């Protein structure tokens, strides 16, 4: 009976540890809430009446790097004002992020940096990478994620231009700011 109890206790401790670690690892891959409509005010409005695409990224986020590589591969959309807002937090950039952002700037993407601590709380920015599409009248037509491969921005823009309402994809990636990182990863497994 004593051996059975000890084995049961060890099994229970192991199961609890697996559940806790699994929950912690999944916590930072949960979808983030979409920010408020004031997110467009974080960057200067481009001149002219064109569609506007805002890519909110971070140099310290692997998912954002995936989007950067995609943007370099496809180049800027013609007839569209594309802007990249880079949210700089306390974390170091991933290797290659500085180079990718410099190349994006050279390719014609307007790159702007903002410190995470300087983001107005009213903007409600929780996670990156975030894709925002605005009409020529500056009305948000889409605000959400890029899809699992980080490459659905073109499809989403095309659907909107044809008058369709695309499915809003979840923003899955990295938390913005120290407070949200602590909340998403209390065991410091990622952040």
Query: Dihedral angle at the C-alpha atoms of 43, 47, 53, 57, nearest 10 degrees?
Result: -30
Contact 145, 169 (CB under 8 A): yes
DSSP characters over 138-154: S-EEEEE--TTTT--HH
Structure confidence at residue 34 (pLDDT)? 58
Report d(CA 156, CA 167) in Å as an integer.
Answer: 8
Q: Which ranges constitute the DSSP H helices of the chain?
A: 2-27, 62-74, 97-106, 153-161, 178-184
Which pLDDT belongs to residue 180? 66
Q: Evaluate if residue 63 carries a pLDDT over 70.
A: yes
Q: Which residue has the higher pLDDT, 164 or 41?
A: 164
Residues 6+ apart with CB under 8 A from 77: 51, 53, 154, 157
- Average pLDDT in the chain: 84
For residue 179, name the pLDDT band (cuts at 50, 70, 90): low
CATH of domain 37-184: 3.40.30.10
CB 127 within 8 A of CB 173: yes
Mean pLDDT confidence for 157-167: 92
pLDDT band at 105 (very low <50, low <70, confident <90, very high): very high
Spell out the domain ranges in the chain: 1-30, 37-184
Q: Flag whether the pTM goes above 0.85.
A: no
């Amino acid at each position: 009976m004593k051996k059975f109890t000890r084995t049961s206790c060890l099994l229970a401790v192991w199961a609890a540890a697996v559940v806790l670690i699994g929950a912690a690892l999944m916590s930072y891959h949960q979808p983030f809430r979409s920010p408020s409509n004031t997110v467009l005010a974080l960057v200067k409005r481009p001149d002219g009446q064109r569609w506007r695409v805002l890519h909110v990224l971070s140099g310290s986020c692997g998912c954002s790097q995936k989007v950067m590589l995609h943007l370099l591969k496809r180049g800027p959309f013609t007839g569209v004002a594309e802007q990249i807002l880079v949210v700089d937090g306390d974390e170091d950039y991933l290797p290659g992020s500085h180079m990718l952002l410099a190349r994006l700037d050279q390719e014609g993407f307007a790159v702007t940096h903002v410190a995470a601590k300087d983001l107005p709380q009213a903007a409600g920015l929780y996670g990156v990478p975030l894709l925002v599409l605005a009409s020529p009248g500056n009305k948000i037509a889409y605000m959400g994620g890029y899809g699992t491969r980080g490459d659905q921005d073109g499809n989403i823009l095309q659907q909107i231009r044809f008058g369709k309402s695309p499915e809003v994809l979840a923003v899955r990636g990295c938390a913005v700011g120290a407070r949200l990182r602590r909340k998403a990863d209390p065991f410091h497994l990622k952040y």
